[in-house]
Amino acid sequence: MRLPPAILGNAEEVLREILRFTSPADVTLSRYFKDHPRLGGRERGAIAECVYAVLRQKSFFTDFAGTGASMRRLTVLGMAEAIGADSLGGLSEDETALLTRIKEIDRSLLPPKKLANLPDWLYDKFVAQYGEEETLALAAVLNTAAPLDLRVNSLKADRDKVIAELATAPIAAEPTPYSALGLRIWKKPALQNLPLFKEGAIEVQDEGSQVLAQLLGARRGEMVVDFCAGAGGKTLAIGAIMRSTGRLYAFDVSEKRLTKLKPRLARSGLSNVHPVVIAHERDAKVKRLAGKIDRVLVDAPCSGMGTLRRNPDVKWRQQPEGIAELTEKQASILDGAARLVKFGGRLVYATCSLLDEENEGIVQGFLASHPDFELVPMHKVLAEQRIPLEMGDYLKMLPHKHGTDGFFAAVLERKAAPVKAVADESDEDAVAE
């Protein structure tokens, strides 16, 4: 069924704003839809898909649409990609010809940089790290839409029962290969009104993020800190692994993000989570717990390059200078969070970035200046957690290899207490500070 031609005008209007890159695309889209309450569900879906298609292929579309490519032509290309050229009405002869021409192009003949649809600086960084062939395979997947992954809340349900109940909705869900609690849905159904969702039996969470939460190896009754908890995706998974026992602090500098954790927490049935707003990584609230925590997760703020399937605007909004600033912040947060870890405790550093400088670079810098910590090789941690993934020293989940968002993680352990510190507890605090 054809959509009203007027939606091309709406899509063009919101795209113009989004391509200024002053705020995240999803935020601008939500605001636009709020300001245009008459747009129906199908129209909203088409406009959003059009915007995301243009963001994914901006480089190719801009070149193809010709010098001075107008916003209207970009919108037509994006909308045709989103809903199919046949569903588009109200096109001029010139626009119809544009869509005929694009169909005839053999994109495999494009120069690699154009094929990758990445800004030059990012393409060059990826090639230096992964080589050209793998960069193209990675970029091809980063430029597609992600499926919807769910995590089953083991406190409330099991995976097979959830699959069966979703099937009655009817929603087809398949088990994910690496997380024993993960489900993958290829369509994008609305979940909010499902009893399974309202009762907290399922949460939306990428499989890679579920694996990260598991690497912490949290156990019943322990003291655990999720240092950069945000809206609590990993907090909820860790809380369930701890079977709602012990104490799990959810720290973040953003009160707004932690507020979003509250309704999720209420659905989850967890009673061991304590959200705490901190001013910065050296806040007195952090210092008070120094040397007392069994496990600390640092899911650091990062460039988010591993999430381009969901947030394709990030590659155009981020700049190399921004990455350099992030790495300073990441090193400082990891250093601050490390003070919490007790002797023999575990510290996990994680990002959803694909760039070495935000990943191994930070961990190696940390190890060089913290001789009291050592790296636990990832293959050992994966075996201990029975996660069927083959890795070396680090976890590197890659969209084109593992079907997840891109994630990095390193597991560090604080060495056992020196003999003197065991004898005198006040010394332990002195070392931890």
Interacting residues toward ligand SAM by CB under 6 A = 209, 227-234, 251-254, 257, 278, 280-281, 299, 301, 333
Q: Return the number of the residue (184 or 234) whose C-beta is nearest ligand SAM.
A: 234
Q: Which is nearer to ligand SAM, 238 or 421 (CB)?
A: 238
**Choice between 60 and 251, CB closer to ligand SAM:** 251
- The whole-angstrom separation of Cα 40 and Cα 87 is 16
Minimum CB distance to ligand SAM, residue 359 (Å):
13
The alpha carbon torsion through 202, 206, 211, 217 (nearest 10 deg) reads -50
393 burial (CB, 10 Å; 0-12 / 13-18 / 19+) is middle
Q: How far is the CB of 229 from ligand SAM (least distance, A)?
A: 5
- DSSP labels, 337-350: HHTTEEEEEEEEEE
Whether the CB-CB separation of 16 and 23 falls below 8 Å is answered with no
Report, in Å, the least distance between residue 295 CB and ligand SAM: 14
- E-strand stretches of 205-270: 223-226, 247-252
Residue 379 Cβ, how far from ligand SAM at the closest point, in Å? 24
The Cα–Cα gap between 433 and 394 comes to 28
Smaller CB separation from ligand SAM, 139 or 278 = 278
Shortest spacing between CB 400 and ligand SAM, in angstroms = 22
Active-site annotation holds for 352? yes
Residue in 139, 96, 97 with CA at minimum distance from that of residue 119: 139
User: Pairing relation of β-strands 293-299 and 223-226?
Assistant: parallel
Helix ranges, 105-157 (H)? 112-116, 120-130, 132-142
Comparing CB distances to ligand SAM, the nearer of 12 and 206 is 206
Catalytic residue numbers? 352
